[in-house]
Structure 1
Amino acid sequence: MKYRLGDICTIAKGATGIMKAVPGPYPMVTLAEERKQHNEYQFDAAAVIVPLISSTGHGHASIKRIHYQEGKFALGTILCAVIPKDESLLNPRYLFVYLQQFKDSVLVPLMKGAANVSLPLNKLAALEIEVPALAKQQEVIELAEVLTGHKDDLEVLLDAQEADTVKLRQALLREAMQGQLLPQDPTDEPAAVLLKKLQAAKAASGKAGKGKAGALFAEEAQAVEGPYALPEKWTWCKLGELVERSDSGWSPACANYPAAEGVWGVLRTTSVQKLQFLAEENKQLPAALTPRPQYEVQAGDILITRAGPKNRVGVCCVVDEVRPKLMISDKLIRLHLHEKQAYPKFIALALNIGVSAQFLEDVKTGMADSQVNISQDNLRATIIPLPPLTEQHRIVAKLEQLLQHCDALEQRIRESRRLAEQLLQTALREALSAPEAVNDLALTAKLGHQLTLL
């Protein structure tokens, strides 16, 4: 039988500002999965918590999750509590399962607003839901608990597989930086000889580099001692020895959206990910401003983030492909290497992991994690484990091949998670759509078997 939600439930908006919560003994429900704490409670009941604002921001209606909460609790102002008036008619846990499974089809369409999308309380109260007999509600609840248990068991196994894949990836990268990934080739010219040739070329030319920061890389190379022994033909060196020239860009006031095709844009720092360049992460340059083509990013550039949040500073990538008319910002440093001494992809790899990455982490400066910097001097001083040039190419090629296998394993794990969630949701929706036909033992056995096959 169908009932209007407002006829069989009390619907009350939260009263506590999420940012004003005072730590205390009572759980406080917010949009996040984890509970906050508050020193006062607003409700003492079993309730289903429904968000009143969109989960994905302006202009798009969505609800990420529904909460279930019992006992004394506080509630944020951008959520509401739906509390059954008579639990002999409507079990609150059944209501939670129902709204969680059908949120996209019955709740999201009720949301209104062109920019600030929200769910009106009167629309929620007018919603009609299917309420079967109490015994059938209990069967649905028990089915949800058993199937969720099967899914949780599978998640434990997938978490272990994922952790093993991460360890494998880290081991491969570590071996690459220690010269243990591939056998050494006795015909390779030692990296130390390459560095000496580079120093001689610099001395003959009388200049070390060009560009805004070129002078920083003009010092004569000195012997560098690293934290561990390298293969015979490898050597430790400072990044400054390998750089021909470097520069930073320009950060004018830009539009807060990506540049259209054929229009100039300025790269965000988020365009630089570990070993990956995202050209779409840019801001469009206003038509009133004159572009500066000298800062246009080119294929083969090494980009390093030098300013921003702590976890984003010191990240490095090589630009493989890029569309025209994208400029680097002044929060990025661009490096051009002496091509006959260093392979850009290997250097970017070294800067993202191991000793070099830790060096960059240790020299970050700033007053808080939200805004730190790496100076050009410290970047120049970063130590690099340098193999012969031909081995640099071999290492990168082998790593790309091996890491593709790691990527495939991780994709398989993600697909297993997706299928497990899909199986669970399908079973529960079938049970909710026809609760009179629920055979919890048969359905549990069927879904449990399917989940274990993943």
Structure 2
Amino acid sequence: MSVEKPTKWLQTSIGSLCNLINGRAFKPKEWSEAGLPIIRIQNLNNPNATYNHYDGELADKHRIENGELLFAWSGTPGTSFGAHVWKGETAALNQHIFKIEFIEALIDKRFLRYAINQTLDELISGAHGGVGLRHVTKGKFEATDVAFPPLAEQKVIADKLDTLLAQVENTNARLERIPQILKRFRQSVLAAAVSGRINGSDISKWDRAQLIDIVTEKPRNGRSPKGVNYETPYRNLTLSATTSGQFLDGNFKYVELDIGDDSYLWVKNGDILIQRANTLDYVGISALYRGPDNAYVYPDLMMKCTTNERAIPEFLHLTLLSEPTRKYFRDNATGTSGNMPKINQKTVSETPISLPPIADQTEIVRRVDQLFAHADRIEQQVNNALARVNNLTQSILAKAFRGELTEQWRKDNPELISGENSAEALLERIKAERAAKKPGVRRTKIRKTEQAAK
């Protein structure tokens, strides 16, 4: 990203400041239970990610110590790329990550990390590969320019960014906890709904029924013909249409079928669709369809239910989403140890239902809708706030690398940004020291890991 910078700053390439060492390509057969942890990209992005280990001989250049600067140069844009300071124990560096070697007495490590990450948009836009996996070449990375202020100002900028971005991360972490709080709130609302607490109903007077007692016919599977790449009258729903617990329009594939308008495969307004196969967390999840008749057909991995006069569709849907019913489906699913867990027609038909009078069902649904609408509004506000916070990080970095965060500091400390303290003088020292350290022939030391040496 090109931004206007203070006159005392320079623009220089990343390659003029450091050396890049790529990680080692460890083969799966080299992984072990003990030895050095292997740093992969997921270990930089996720502190809870598991590690593979290596206990063989390892070149010193691939050995990483706490505090070293690394750059992940391959992966998925938006999640994988970026500079990181390693905060773990001694480890082995995997491929697709550069170790960044630089003169720490002349360049502030924190500043360099921020400066590199400020260029991520530019680096990713020029990355090779497809829409998914992409990679930044060493040449592209080395040729990318970064802002380069005097050393004293680098430290001040890094201090300010540490403080400001820590506040942003703290705000982001608090906001990201709210969806889980809302999820628990919705479950508590459902629990109150199916127990009668939400409207003060006496559940002891409710009917004890099974799902088969309150639907017009037995639940039955749909059909899943092979999708076609042209438009047909038959839009076959995909599981993603109902996995959220709400019906999501537009999640379908076109298929060819030979059915009439009266076929059971058509989804009607007020039908409830239950997923009969999915992961254990989602098997039995349901959604209520409210829309025009015969707009969709439903697939083999769903069952369809239509309530009779004893229940309103919204109340049955709330019951199916409640934790006791979700647990009932999980406990009765088959194939949980290998294949996709499934529930059959008998399990769905025998689903226990506590059934209040129609008037109570209507009132319960009204109150749940009211509370859920309130939760939805809060969730939307949180999502909007998260978007603003995410933009705030880039805004703060942009200000920092335009020199705005240190404008007053430069006025107060002219002696620290001029003469022998200037960016020009600093860059010359870096070039001189790097040239002096550059060996005629590079020798790579090989050492055994601690485990292999024992």
Name the TM-score class by shorter chain.
Answer: 0.7 to 0.9
1:365 counterpart SS class = coil
Contact 1:3 1:131 in 2 (8 A): yes
Residue equivalent to 1:52 = 74
- The structure 2 residue matched to 1:407, chosen from 367, 371, 376, is 376
1:107 lines up with 2:123 in the alignment: yes
Report the equivalent of 1:253: 226
Give per-residue Cα distances to partners, 1:138-196, cap 9 Å, x unaligned: 12221122123323443565466555544433332211111111145xxxxxxxxxxxx
Of 380-389 and 150-159, more deviation after overlay is shown by: 150-159
Report if aligned partners of 2:194, 2:319 keep a CA contact under 8 Å in 1: yes
Distance in 2 of aligned mates of 1:164 and 1:23: 38
Query: 1:94: how far off?
Result: 1.8
1:376-421 residue CA offsets vs partner (Å, 9 max, x unmatched):
1111111011111122122112211111111222333333333334
The structure 1 residue matched to 2:41, chosen from 17, 25, 30, is 30
Whether the 8 Å contact between 2:20 and 2:98 is mirrored in structure 1 is yes
| Aligned pairs (5 A) from 1:193-212 | none
Matched residues in 1 for 2:41 and 2:382: separation? 30
Offset of residue 277 of structure 1:
0.9
* Matching residue within 209, 231, 238 for 1:237: 209
Instruction: Name the CA distance, whole Å, in 2 between partners of 1:320 and 1:370.
Output: 32
Greater shift after overlay, 350-359 or 262-271? 262-271
- Among 85, 88, 92, the alignment partner of 1:69 is 85
Equivalent position to 1:124, from 141, 145, 149: 141
- The answer on 1:174 being equivalent to 2:191 is yes
Q: Which residue of 1 aligns with 2:323?
A: 354
Q: Write the distance in 2 (CA, Å) between the matches of 1:28 and 1:309.
A: 30
Residues 348-372 of structure 1: CA deviation (Å, up to 9, x unaligned): 1101113222211211111436611
Query: Which is further off, 420-429 or 236-245?
Result: 420-429
Which range is displaced more, 95-104 or 20-29? 20-29
SS in 2 for 1:312: coil
Describe the shift of the 1:75–1:36 C-alpha distance in structure 2 as closer, same or farther (beyond 3 A).
farther
Judged with a 3 Å threshold, the aligned counterparts in structure 2 of structure 1 residues 100 and 322 are, in CA distance, closer, same or farther, namely farther
For the aligned residues, what is the CA RMSD? Answer: 3.0
Distance 1:23 1:140 in 2: 42
Q: Could you say if the C-alpha distance between residues 316 and 290 of structure 1 is closer, same or farther in structure 2, counting changes exceeding 3 Å?
A: closer
Q: Distance in 1 between matches of 2:177 and 2:140?
A: 44
Q: Deviations over 1:289-346 (max 9, x none)?
A: 44545323232211000012222211011111268653211111011221x1111111
Q: Find the aligned partners of 2:165 and 2:214 in 1 and give their Cα distance.
A: 55
The alignment's TM-score, normalised by the length of structure 1, stands at 0.74
Bigger mean CA deviation after superposition, 405-414 or 395-404 = 405-414
Indicate if the aligned counterparts of 2:71 and 2:99 stay in contact, CA closer than 8 A: yes
Contact 2:266 2:293 survives alignment (8 Å) = no
Partner of 2:429: none
1:387 aligns with 2:400: no
Distance 1:350 1:117, change over 3 A: same
Q: Please state if 1:43 is matched with 2:63.
A: yes
Shifted more, 408-417 versus 260-269: the winner is 260-269
1:282 equivalent to 2:298? Answer no
Q: Does the CA-based 8 Å contact 2:157-2:406 persist in structure 1? A: no
Q: Once the 2 structures are TM-superposed, how far is the Cα of residue 39 of structure 1 from its aligned partner?
A: 2.4
Mark the CA change 1:367 to 1:126 in structure 2 (over 3 Å): closer, same or farther: same
Letter paired with 1:405: H
Distance 1:47 1:301 in 2: 57
- In the aligned structure 2, how far is the partner of 1:63 from the partner of 1:303? 35
User: In the alignment, residue 72 of structure 1 is paired with which amino acid?
Assistant: T
Is 2:64–2:93's contact at 8 Å kept on the other side of the alignment?
Answer: no
Structure with greater contact order relative to length (CA < 8 Å, sep ≥ 6):
2
- Where structure 1 has 5 or more consecutive residues not aligned to the other structure, the ranges are 56-61, 185-228, 441-454
1:311 paired residue among 276, 281, 291: 281
Give secondary structure in 1 for the equivalent of 2:399: helix
In structure 2, do the counterparts of structure 1 residues 22 and 268 end up closer, same or farther at CA, with 3 Å as the change threshold?
A: farther
Alignment of 1:315-394 (within 5 A): 315-321=285-291, 326-338=296-308, 340-368=309-337, 371-394=340-363
Give, as a single letter, the amino acid of the residue that structure 1 aligns with 2:53. N
Mapped partners of 1:323, 1:102: distance in 2: 52
Q: Alignment identity in percent?
A: 21
Report the Cα distance in structure 2 between the residues aligned to 1:28 and 1:172, rounded to whole angstroms: 44
Distance 2:329 2:134 in 1: 43
1: CA distance, partners of 2:27 / 2:306: 48
Answer whether contact 2:41 2:80 (CA < 8 A) is retained: no
The unaligned stretches of length 5 or more in structure 2 are 1-9, 410-454
Change (3 A) 1:162 1:327: closer
2:420: which partner in 1?
Answer: none
User: Do the aligned residues in 2 keep the contact of 1:88 with 1:134 (CA within 8 Å)?
Assistant: no
SS state of the match for residue 51, structure 2? strand
1:263 to partner: Cα distance: 5.2
- SS of the equivalent of 2:281 reads helix
Listed as ranges, the matches of 1:86-105 within 5 Å are 86-104=103-121
User: Partner letter of residue 3 of structure 1?
Assistant: T
In structure 2, give the amino acid aligned to 1:36. Answer: T
Q: Partners of 1:317 and 1:239 in 2: how far apart?
A: 15
Name 2:450's counterpart in structure 1. none
Q: Summarize the Cα distance change of 1:422–1:438 in structure 2 as closer, same or farther, 3 Å threshold.
A: farther
**Aligned amino acid, residue 8 of structure 1:** L
Q: 1:312 to 1:421 in 2, by over 3 A?
A: same
TM-score by length of 2: 0.74
Amino acid at match of 2:140: K
